[in-house]
């Protein structure tokens, strides 16, 4: 049976975790989940260049910002979008601490966000599964990319088949990373194939994570 209001529950959880979100992410590394490397792979796959504009959709506390800064340099622009102000407050502190001057933060639900035309890249890390309207979001994002530019999604999925060792961990087997089974039934990578030309797909951590990268079609 599905949850009464999944989006409301997700927003409540992220409000509660905003202050310690980075610590929670770091704790996954103790389990052997090298999320830092996965983020680097996702950003490298965007093939960004100095001066580019990139959108970090559902940017959270800004964990992707240092890598995106290196990619677009000070001449480029990063747009961080997130629905929850508590997460953006943490991102703003990160920006101020680093002294970055080329990052704009926008509070918006991904489902309503209007992508700026001619963007050089769109990134979503560990967030797209939480957007019920993910197909429409990816479609609109693809339409906003300049020809030949890329969209990358890094997120959780069901492992098929699940690794044998997870038989001892029923909750992990059915709900990796604590995500509800309804969220794991969503397949954003299929939308990448539908609305862009998928140029790469790879899985991490025994199939529980994936990176899907698509390139915008010529118009």
165-182 pLDDT tens trace: 777 666 666 666 667 778
* pLDDT computed for residue 134 by the predictor: 97
For residue 126, give both structure tokens: 């560990």
* pLDDT computed for residue 82 by the predictor: 94
* pLDDT computed for residue 130 by the predictor: 87
Cβ 132 vs Cβ 111: under 8 Å: yes
* pLDDT computed for residue 10 by the predictor: 58
How confident is the model over 3-17, as pLDDT tens digits? Answer: 455 556 655 555 555
Q: In this structure, is residue 1 part of a structural domain?
A: no
Q: In this structure, is residue 54 part of a structural domain?
A: yes
Cβ 48 vs Cβ 102: under 8 Å: no
Q: What value does the mean pLDDT of the chain take?
A: 87
pLDDT band at 161 (very low <50, low <70, confident <90, very high): confident
The pTM score is 0.87
Which structural domain range is residue 182 located in?
A: 6-215
Query: Which residues, in sequence order, are CB contacts of 157 under 8 Å at separation 6+?
Result: 184, 187, 203, 207, 208, 209, 210
* pLDDT computed for residue 184 by the predictor: 83
* pLDDT computed for residue 1 by the predictor: 45
Residues 83 and 74: their CA atoms lie apart, in Å, by 26
Of the chain, the percentage scoring pLDDT greater than 90 comes to 64
Residues 187 and 90: their CA atoms lie apart, in Å, by 29
pLDDT band at 18 (very low <50, low <70, confident <90, very high): low
The residue among 204, 210, 213, 206 whose CA lies nearest residue 157 is 210
Mean pLDDT within 142-171: 87
In the chain, the number of structural domains is: 1
CATH number (domain holding residue 55): 3.40.50.150
pLDDT for residue 86 is more than 90: no
Q: In this structure, is residue 49 part of a structural domain?
A: yes
Residue ranges of alpha helices (H) inside the chain are 6-17, 21-29, 35-45, 65-72, 85-98, 134-144, 170-174, 181-184, 188-195
pLDDT for residue 28 is more than 90: no
How confident is the model over 122-143, as pLDDT tens digits? Answer: 999 999 998 999 999 999 999 9
What per-residue string of b and e applies to 132-149 under the rule 16 or more CB within 10 Å gives b? Answer: eebbebbebbbebbeeeb
∠ at Cα 176 (158, 54), nearest 5°?
Answer: 80
> H or E stretch including 213?
strand 209-215
pLDDT for residue 213 is more than 70: yes
pLDDT band at 25 (very low <50, low <70, confident <90, very high): low
**Cα distances (angstroms) measured from residue 63 to each of 6, 88, 126, 169:** 24, 11, 11, 29
């Amino acid at each position: 049976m599905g949850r009464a209001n999944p989006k409301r529950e997700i927003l409540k959880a992220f409000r509660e975790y905003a202050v310690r979100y980075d610590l929670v992410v770091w704790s996954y590394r103790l389990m052997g989940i090298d999320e830092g490397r996965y983020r680097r792979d996702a950003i490298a796959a965007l093939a960004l260049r100095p001066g580019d504009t990139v959108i970090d959709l559902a940017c959270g506390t800004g964990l992707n910002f240092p890598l995106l800064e290196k990619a677009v340099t000070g001449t480029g622009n990063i747009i961080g979008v997130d629905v929850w102000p508590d997460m953006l407050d943490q991102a703003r502190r990160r920006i101020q601490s680093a002294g970055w001057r080329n990052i704009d933060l926008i509070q918006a639900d991904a489902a309503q966000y209007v992508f700026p035309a001619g963007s050089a890249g769109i990134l979503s890390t560990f967030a797209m599964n939480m957007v019920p309207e993910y197909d429409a979001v990816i479609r609109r994002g693809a339409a906003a990319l300049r020809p030949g530019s890329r969209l990358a999604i890094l997120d959780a999925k069901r492992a098929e088949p699940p690794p044998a060792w997870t038989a001892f961990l029923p909750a992990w087997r059915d709900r990796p990373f604590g995500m509800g089974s309804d969220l794991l039934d969503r397949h954003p990578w299929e939308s990448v194939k539908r609305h862009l030309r998928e140029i790469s797909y790879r899985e991490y951590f025994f199939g529980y994570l994936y990176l899907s990268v698509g390139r915008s079609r010529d118009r």
